[in-house]
Amino acid sequence: MRGWDGVIVAGFAAAFALGGCAGAVAQERPQPASACAGEVVARGAVSRVSDGRSFVLADGREVRLAAIEVPPLSPGSGAAPDGTAARDGLAALLGGAEIVLRQAEPQKTDRYGRIVAYAFVTRDGSEHLVQADLLAAGLARVAPRAGGRTCAMELLSREHAARRAKLGLWAGSYYDSLDAENPAAVLAEQGRFALVEGRVVSVRESGATIYVNFGRRWSTDFTVTILKRNERSFTAAGLEPKKLSGRRIRVRGWIEERGGPWIEAARPEQIEFADRE
């Protein structure tokens, strides 16, 4: 078996032939060909890449890429791949290029003062979304919070293609979807961002919460919760919570514990129909 870095770097090369074009800048400002294009909040060159989704501009401002999750550089588990390849892949994409940062959320910075944005580089006369390229190479996963639905669908399509091709993170089994029918295995990943897949057994409401249940032992089986105030956005996206019963779905988010394992789904982009694939 090849080393993890070798597997991911090979996937990165297969996803895009960057050559020397990553640093090419068109004479005119191109328009981004992406649904994840908000207002420009900053431009500049990169002085240092910190990890697979963080870097520092030449003027000292720190940037965190919105909408993706990458492996940490020090995962803390012998089974977990580290984030070295993601960091190196990001450095390859950003090297020598002018970076355009576009607004991702109403708040332009996080609590640490870092700019949180979609990052674009100019290649072949047009702006390319860095997050999309990382996902296409299998170096990242789509985060629970991934902008508007159109943007999220664009990013998810890149992730799906990389997963089908077994690129990068998807070359091994560590990042496979967890089985909702094995709540003990899901709970063992408490505190970790993960994908969980299974068939919905029932949907119940209690107070301000909708419970999407994957087993009959509600206190111990895997559950997805949706706040009723968010129900309308799920229905508008074709994911009416009450009609999920019997469907096989995939949900992404942070594994927490309330008796059994659970994920809070705050946005419809966190849930996909796995029985359509």
Residues with Cβ within 8 Å of 110's Cβ and at least 6 positions away in sequence, in order, are: 64, 116
For the chain, what is the mean pLDDT?
88
Q: How far apart are CA 122 and CA 108, in angstroms?
A: 22
User: Does 264 have pLDDT greater than 80?
Assistant: yes
* Assigned token pair, 97: 């290029």
pLDDT digits (tens, 9 = 90+) for 198-214: 999 999 999 999 999 99
Find where tokens 């995939």 sit. Answer: 250
CB 100 within 8 A of CB 45: no
User: Does 254 have pLDDT greater than 90?
Assistant: yes
Q: What percent of the chain has pLDDT over 90?
A: 74
Q: How far apart are CA 81 and CA 4, in angstroms?
A: 7
Predicted local distance difference test score (pLDDT) of residue 275: 83
Among the listed residues 87, 200, 69, 92, the one whose alpha carbon sits nearest the alpha carbon of residue 140: 69
Per-residue pLDDT band for 17 (boundaries 50, 70, 90) equals very low
Predicted local distance difference test score (pLDDT) of residue 127: 86
pLDDT digits (tens, 9 = 90+) for 19-70: 333 333 334 556 666 889 789 999 999 999 999 999 999 999 999 999 999 9
Predicted local distance difference test score (pLDDT) of residue 109: 93
**DSSP-derived 3-state class of residue 69:** strand
Q: Which domains does the chain have, with CATH numbers?
A: 4-171 (2.40.50.90), 178-276 (2.40.50.140)
Neighbours of 20 (CB within 10 A): 7
Neighbours of 173 (CB within 10 A): 7
- Phi/psi at 69 (nearest 5 deg)? -120, 140
Burial class (CB in 10 A: 0-12, 13-18, 19+), 13: middle
Query: Taking each helix axis from N to C terminus, what angle separates 149-165 and 4-15, rounded to the nearest 10 degrees?
Result: 120
User: Does 12 have pLDDT greater than 60?
Assistant: no
Predicted local distance difference test score (pLDDT) of residue 20: 39
Predicted local distance difference test score (pLDDT) of residue 30: 60
Burial class (CB in 10 A: 0-12, 13-18, 19+), 123: buried
User: Does 2 have pLDDT greater than 50?
Assistant: no
Predicted local distance difference test score (pLDDT) of residue 106: 86
